[in-house]
């Protein structure tokens, strides 16, 4: 997350907000209450399973502002309390998410409608109330939960069981034994949720990602589970894996679990179960209320030493097999509690290389991290299918990692990442309370004594939750800054106690921590527009080392998405007024406008003539910018000096409808940024170097490639050929190696100032493996590195790409056929052909699949798109999507491009 010091007015406002909470808690009149809700519907008692070892998630809540509830906590939290007029909320819901679901406010993703939501509604606590039924009150009953933002007093059946001094922090986990309070029939749990302020609490904030939600995400955003058990509780069961390297011929598994006697009498329990193919068992005698850790190791259970283990790999490197741990604690032959966990066998390390950069190594094989920053929904609404769609997009783009700066997603996210083979880089967020006490002299939100145990407890809870996921490649205990010694040691102690085996990174920036040392990462930006050539210089944010967050900033979405998110007046301002503050860019004054971006767009391509022309030029600019970022880091990965080791595009997606920092937009539509990344990250790829005019082949496959042919042709915009060269017999090693095929001459007789370069890579049989088309200028972009700031490097002269506007119109025809697999997935195969006359190519031809009402059919995964065709050329593309998303309509194809008229035809 970009760092900037908090301005005085922001800090004053934060302090004022904190004071307001205290005043209201003392009984002063609150701000205007939320609109009167409709009668509560859909909030029913959750039937809790009776079997020992089961856990039942509270299905829903009734919520209401304490400003509107005059009854006592004992009354509110007692069974039978009337909740007519309360709002329904799901099992994971912020206050505002529930209000939006109930229709209390207009769609905050459109225009400036979020401004209509009064922040004063959320300056007082809110009640969350849920009923659950129990048939057998004799079994032990526990409330198990985390994800409370920011803190809560907790009540069960009229009795307070925990206060906000204990239940505080978004990531701390709590288990409350409520056996003595539970009765047969209906029971009630109620949370009095305190308001959130991410500058004052160890929770979650948004800084400059988006316009922050007026409720600051107060609520319960993870499951509250009612767990049942017998006299012995089985907790913290996990497997520590050790893979033999480099052979990977064997792996050793060590199983650990805590057994706790919750009864007043001594008891003997037998802990038994299976760990992958092995069985384990041991009996333990526990004194009253004693807790003991049970360990099963290969020394006493030889079956835990596996031969030929099934090893987990990132998606592009191998398979993603998982093993299971299943344990039962029994007393007198009766199950008292159970534990279940999946895990993977893999080895992840991240040493510093000779240049001090962090190099990730999986199962002994180094890899270039090609990542992007992940954002949850602005209102922290969890949707498994929507998340899975985005993860599939990440794989489609050739990404192998996602960074989660704060906003660490629920368990299902990491389950999906395990399944899809996507590495994750979770960590704490910057520029709020999490970085109030840092290893340096920077000002921040000072910590109080109560914050230290909350931070350590947060680390302990997340470590225990994430340690078994093979997709979790490290944990970043700092973001823009590294923690001071006290905080760092607390984190490290918690990680060690949790048997954490993945690397621990002190900071996402080039900050060192007192114990862990150097970060091996850099956070030099940029976060706003820079030209494609910027990425090739080994300085600032260029392709050297590990850049933890960086991009050329704005990513203007497609016209379809823009019309869904902006009003007509805002659409007009978007292309006409570069100095206008864009609400859908950022609350930060640094990123409020598109001034730098718009100046580059006009300077390089020519001033926009209308909204469609602005968006057309934006897609072209974003394609070349994103492609260059990933290509530069890929080309430099095996350099002998100062190689690149990782790049995290800032960001993969946005939590709302946005104009910046996104490879894919809120509605999962794909534009130039998306297809630029997809092109750059091809497994075997031909590319152009903006710095040295070299044409290189980059091979991210494991195996070497040989017998390749590279052909490079230069054209004027009208299609006149000015240069053509073919190189045969090329070979390139695997594992991210690159090989230079040829270097283009500094000048070519007769070549226009604005020109096109077509790069083709074919195999020994003449089959096309990679095609890449660049629009270039003999007049280079000129960067002023002396004027660099933390968010961009100024450009003092622009490349002249205005010649593209003179390209003749080109006709493109399409034929298609659609087939369904019978499992709910359809594939439309599209053949596009340049059918125009003359010699001009059809530049950046885009094919959109349309569904019901002529709207884009989303999500969709294209084999390729935004392609460039010369006269007579054709390309076959495939689009994969859910059949049900057609909603019974026949699909259609919309074809458009830089110099191609937009046409819509039925899809076969």
Helix, strand, coil % (nearest 5) of the chain?
Answer: 20, 35, 45
Residue with the two structure tokens 């048939």:
135
Q: Are 172 and 461 in contact, with CB atoms under 8 Å apart?
A: yes
Nearest 5°: the CA angle 359, 361, 362 is 155
Residue 675: its H or E element: helix 672-680
Unique residue bearing structure tokens 């704490």: 428
DSSP 8-state code for residue 534: G
DSSP 262-316: -SSS-EEEEEEEEETTEEEEEEEEE-TT-EEEEEE-TTT-GGGEEES------GG
**DSSP letters spanning 588-641:** SSTTSS-HHHHHHHHHHH----SHHHHHHHHHHHHHHHHHHHHHHHHHTTT-SS
Q: Rounded to whole angstroms, how far apart are CA atoms 818 and 827?
A: 6
Helix (H) or strand (E) holding 96: helix 95-101
- Please give the Cα distance from 685 to 708 (Å, whole number): 11
Strands (E), 140-184: 140-145, 148-149, 152-156, 159-162, 174-177
Please give the distance of CA 164 from its chain centroid, rounded to a whole number. Answer: 30
Residue 428, Cα to own-chain centre: how many angstroms?
A: 14
**Contact predicate 674/397, CB 8 Å:** yes
Report the alpha-carbon distance of residue 696 to residue 157 in Å, rounded.
69
Q: Is 480 noted as a catalytic residue in this protein?
A: yes
Question: How far from chain centre, in Å, is Cα 846?
Answer: 26
- From CA 356, how far away is CA 550, in angstroms rounded? 19
- Environment class of 48 (CB within 10 Å of its CB; exposed 0-12, middle 13-18, buried 19+): buried
Mark 710-720 as b/e (b = at least 16 C-beta within 10 Å): bbbbbbbbebe
For residue 166, give Cα distances in angstroms to 154, 172, 178, 378.
10, 9, 16, 27
Is the alpha carbon torsion for 65, 67, 70, 71 positive or negative? positive
Catalytic residue from among 215, 262, 437, 480: 480
570 is catalytic: no
119 phi and psi angles, rounded to 5 deg: -65, -25
Torsion angle, alpha carbons of 202, 207, 210, 213, to 10: 40
The CA-atom distances, in angstroms, between 348 and each of 79, 737, 875 are 50, 21, 40
Q: How far apart are CA 231 and CA 434, in angstroms?
A: 39
Catalytic residue, chosen from 405, 549, 560, 846, is 549
Give CA torsion, residues 326, 332, 336, 341, to 10 deg.
-10
Residues noted as catalytic? 480, 549
């Amino acid at each position: 997350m970009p760092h900037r010091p908090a301005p005085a007015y922001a800090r004053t406002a934060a302090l004022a907000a904190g004071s307001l909470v205290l005043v209201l808690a003392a009984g002063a009149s609150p701000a205007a209450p939320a609109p009167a809700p409709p009668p509560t519907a859909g909030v029913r008692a959750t039937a809790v399973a009776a079997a020992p070892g089961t856990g039942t998630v509270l299905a829903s809540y009734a919520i209401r502002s304490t400003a509107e509830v005059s009854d006592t906590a004992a009354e509110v939290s007692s069974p039978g309390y009337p909740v007519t007029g309360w709002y329904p909320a799901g099992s994971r819901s912020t206050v505002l998410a529930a209000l939006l679901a109930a229709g209390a406010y207009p769609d905050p993703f459109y225009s400036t409608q979020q401004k209509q939501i009064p922040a004063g509604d959320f300056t007082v606590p809110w009640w969350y109330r849920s009923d659950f039924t129990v048939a057998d009150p004799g079994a032990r009953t526990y409330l198990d939960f985390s994800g409370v933002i920011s803190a809560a007093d907790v009540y069960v059946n009229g009795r307070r069981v925990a206060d906000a001094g204990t239940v505080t922090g978004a990531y701390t986990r709590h288990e409350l034994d409520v056996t003595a309070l539970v009765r047969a029939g209906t029971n009630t749990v109620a949370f009095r949720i305190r308001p959130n302020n991410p500058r004052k609490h160890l929770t979650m904030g948004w800084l400059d990602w988006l316009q922050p939600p007026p409720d600051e995400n107060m609520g319960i955003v993870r499951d509250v589970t009612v767990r049942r058990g017998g006299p012995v509780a089985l907790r913290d069961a996990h497997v520590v894996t050790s893979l033999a390297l480099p052979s990977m011929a064997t792996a050793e598994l060590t199983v650990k679990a805590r057994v706790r006697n919750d009864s007043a009498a001594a008891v003997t329990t037998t802990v038994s179960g299976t760990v992958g193919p092995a069985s384990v068992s041991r009996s333990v005698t526990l004194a009253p209320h004693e807790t003991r850790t049970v360990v099963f190791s290969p020394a006493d259970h030889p079956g835990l030493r596996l031969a030929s283990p099934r090893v987990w790999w990132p998606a592009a490197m191998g398979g993603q097999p998982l093993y299971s741990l299943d344990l039962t604690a029994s007393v007198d032959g009766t199950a008292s509690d159970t534990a279940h966990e999946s895990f993977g066998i893999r080895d992840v390390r991240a040493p510093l290389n000779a240049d001090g950069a962090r190099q990730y190594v999986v199962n002994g094989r180094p890899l270039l991290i090609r990542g992007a920053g992940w954002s949850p929904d602005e209102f922290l609404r969890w949707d498994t299918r929507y998340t899975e769609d985005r993860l599939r997009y990440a794989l489609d783009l050739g990404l192998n990692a996602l960074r989660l700066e704060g906003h660490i997603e629920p368990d299902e996210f990491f389950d999906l990442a395990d399944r899809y083979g996507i590495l994750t880089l979770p960590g704490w967020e910057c520029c709020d309370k999490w970085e109030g006490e840092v290893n340096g002299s920077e000002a921040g939100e000072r910590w109080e004594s109560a914050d230290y145990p909350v931070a350590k407890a947060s680390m302990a809870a997340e470590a225990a939750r994430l340690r078994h996921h093979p997709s979790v490649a490290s944990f970043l205990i700092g973001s823009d800054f590294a923690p001071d010694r006290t905080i760092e040691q607390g984190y490290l102690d918690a990680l060690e106690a949790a048997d954490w085996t993945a690397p621990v990174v002190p900071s996402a920036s080039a900050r060192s921590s007192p114990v862990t040392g150097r970060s091996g990462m850099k956070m030099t930006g940029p976060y706003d527009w820079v030209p494609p050539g910027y990425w090739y210089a080994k300085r600032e944010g260029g392709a050297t080392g590990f850049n933890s967050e960086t991009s050329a900033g704005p990513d203007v979405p497609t016209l379809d998405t823009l019309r869904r998110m902006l009003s007509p007046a805002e659409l007009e301002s978007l292309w006409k007024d570069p100095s206008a503050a864009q609400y859908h860019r950022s609350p930060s004054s640094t990123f409020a406008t598109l001034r730098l971006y718009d100046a580059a767009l006009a300077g390089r391509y020519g001033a926009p003539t209308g909204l469609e022309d602005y968006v057309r030029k934006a897609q072209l600019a974003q394609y070349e910018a994103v492609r260059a970022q990933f290509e530069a880091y890929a080309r430099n990965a095996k350099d002998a000096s100062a190689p690149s080791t990782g790049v995290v595009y800032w960001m993969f997606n946005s939590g709302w409808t946005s104009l910046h920092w996104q490879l894919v937009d809120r509605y999962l539509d794909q534009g130039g940024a998306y297809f630029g990344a997809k092109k750059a990250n091809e497994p075997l790829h031909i590319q152009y170097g903006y710095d040295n005019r070299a044409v290189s082949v980059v091979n991210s496959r494991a195996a070497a490639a040989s017998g390749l042919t590279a052909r490079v042709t230069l054209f004027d915009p009208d299609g006149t050929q000015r240069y053509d060269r073919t190189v045969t017999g090329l070979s390139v090693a695997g594992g991210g190696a690159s090989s230079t095929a040829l270097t283009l001459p500094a000048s070519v007789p007769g070549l226009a100032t604005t020109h096109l370069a077509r790069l083709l890579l074919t195999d020994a049989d003449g089959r096309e493996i990679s095609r890449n088309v660049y629009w270039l200028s003999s007049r280079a972009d000129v960067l002023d590195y002396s004027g660099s700031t933390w968010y961009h490097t100024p450009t003092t002269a622009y490349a002249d790409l205005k010649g593209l506007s003179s390209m003749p119109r080109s006709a493109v025809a399409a034929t298609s056929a659609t087939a369904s697999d019978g499992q709910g997935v359809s594939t439309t195969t599209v053949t596009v052909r340049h059918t125009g006359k003359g010699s001009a190519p059809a530049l950046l031809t885009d094919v959109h699949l349309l569904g019901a009402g002529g709207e884009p059919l989303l999500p969709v995964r294209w084999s390729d798109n935004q392609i460039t065709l010369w006269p007579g050329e054709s390309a076959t593309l495939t689009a994969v999507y859910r059949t049900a998303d057609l909603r019974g309509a026949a699909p259609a194809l919309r074809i458009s491009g830089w110099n191609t008229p937009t046409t819509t035809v039925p899809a076969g």
